[in-house]
Amino acid sequence: MSENFDTKAVHLNNTASIESKSKTRPIYQTSVFSFENLDDLEGYFRGEKNYLYTRMGNPNVNDLAISVAKLEDAPEGIAAASGMAAILAGILSIAGQGDHIVASKDIYGGTHQLLVEELKRFGIEISLVSFENHSNVKEAIQKNTKLIYSESITNPLLRVEDIHSLVQIAKENNLKTMIDNTFATPYLYQPYKDGIDLVVHSATKYIAGHSDVTAGVLVGHTDLVREAGQRISNLGANLSPFEAWLGCRGLKTLHVRMQRHVENAYKLAAVLSNHEAIDKLYYPESFSNRGNGAIVTIDITKKCDIKTFFEALSWVKIVPSLAGCETSVSYPVGTSHRSLPETLRDQLGITEGLVRISVGLEDIEDIINEFDQALQKALL
């Protein structure tokens, strides 16, 4: 090594070798991987080496993808910069210009926007129909249909999808299926085991679990996932190593967090179901043997002032997302489903009084008291 200061400053931290084994996975915070010579470089393209450029693959990113795939009992997984990036990559692994997708209309607003606005640029046609009656799905299928898309538990009205029926329809029509399993997580349900081709997660939510990561994961059939991985690389939608590392750290406690989330949500739903300030409560029933999910959605009566309700919350935060350790609330009309046409929101039941509660890990009595006092103050 040169004795010149400038050269030493650049290269010093690359010279040490670590003999001890780390208990946890190191963060491979590098944009590129180096090679000994040109033959070594060619080894990557011969499949002898795993990594070249972090946009195309990184140990931490692969750790997250493979870990979620294993929890879903799927053979392959890839990670992306966000849940939306993973959804787009999954769709583009199946559908292209001139193809058609049948999707449930009661899905996350961001996904709705992606389907009806952005996919048009790719020449992909979309039919959004009610999946409450699967005869609508059958009727929407066209000669150029390639994919059926829905959510295992829908956002924000928490309808439980009939996965078995969707898989049967898809098989009868030689179609692929894709399910967003974010709300359920693999702790509660694994759609791939029931025949779904691709399962997507916004790992931003329960998988990472601490509101400090933006990431997406797609798992499923090997050929489709690898094709989606190529789309992620080509579109530059790759996840950063550090966020992947954080996601893996969060995944280690998914089971214990979800157990508490689910227990608290069940108890809160039971109390709020008869509250005088609530016209309707949405909460799944008999979803899985581990519970019904960690989200409770309420439609506050018109006898309440919705602004007063939000202002009366003391320690519960108002946020546009969900699934952190802390209990939080979101306002679908003003955030997640803001882009939907008002007529569609009304049709779906996304009203001015709808509040989505992401139930956290706090003491359940504190959670119950917090919502009761805010609802009582909001009553006119």
Where would I find the beta strands (DSSP E) of the chain?
76-80, 100-104, 125-129, 145-151, 176-180, 198-202, 216-220, 278-282, 295-300, 317-318, 328-330, 354-358
Q: What is the pLDDT of residues 46-55, one digit of tens each?
A: 999 999 999 9
In this predicted structure, which of 7-16, 64-73, 335-344, 358-367 has the lowest mean pLDDT?
A: 7-16
pLDDT at 340: 84
Sheet holding 328-330, edge to edge: 278-282, 295-300, 354-358, 328-330, 317-318
With pLDDT > 70 as the criterion, what percentage of the chain qualifies? 96
> Which of 330, 315, 324 is CA-nearest to residue 374?
315
pLDDT at 14: 60
* pLDDT at residue 6 is higher than 70: no
Mean pLDDT confidence for 151-179 = 98
> Which of 270, 295, 264, 317 is CA-nearest to residue 156?
295
> Which of 319, 257, 331 is CA-nearest to residue 294?
257
> Which of 182, 179, 183, 166 is CA-nearest to residue 132?
166
Token pair of 259 as six digits: 């157990």
Q: Please name each of the domains of the chain with its CATH number.
A: 38-251 (3.40.640.10), 254-378 (3.90.1150.10)
Instruction: Write the CA distances from 219 to 36, 71, 76, 79, integer angstroms.
Output: 34, 10, 6, 9
Rounded Cα distance between 90 and 192, Å, is 14
Instruction: Write the CA distances from 152 to 158, 186, 210, integer angstroms.
Output: 9, 11, 22
Average pLDDT, the chain: 94
pLDDT at 336: 81
If you write DSSP's letter for every residue of 6-61 in order, what string do you get? HHHHHHGGGS----SPPSSPPP---SB---SSHHHHHHHHTTS-S-SBGGG--HHH
- The helix-helix angle for 222-235 and 83-92 (nearest 10°) equals 120
Mean pLDDT confidence for 215-232 = 98
Under 8 Å between Cβ of 102 and 124:
no
* pLDDT at residue 73 is higher than 70: yes
pLDDT at 380: 80
Mean pLDDT confidence for 364-376 = 97
Rounded Cα distance between 330 and 358, Å, is 8
* pLDDT at residue 83 is higher than 80: yes
Q: What is the pLDDT of residues 311-365, one digit of tens each?
A: 999 999 999 999 999 999 999 998 888 888 888 888 888 999 999 999 999 999 9
Mean pLDDT confidence for 167-184 = 98
pTM for this model (two decimals)? 0.94
pLDDT at 3: 72
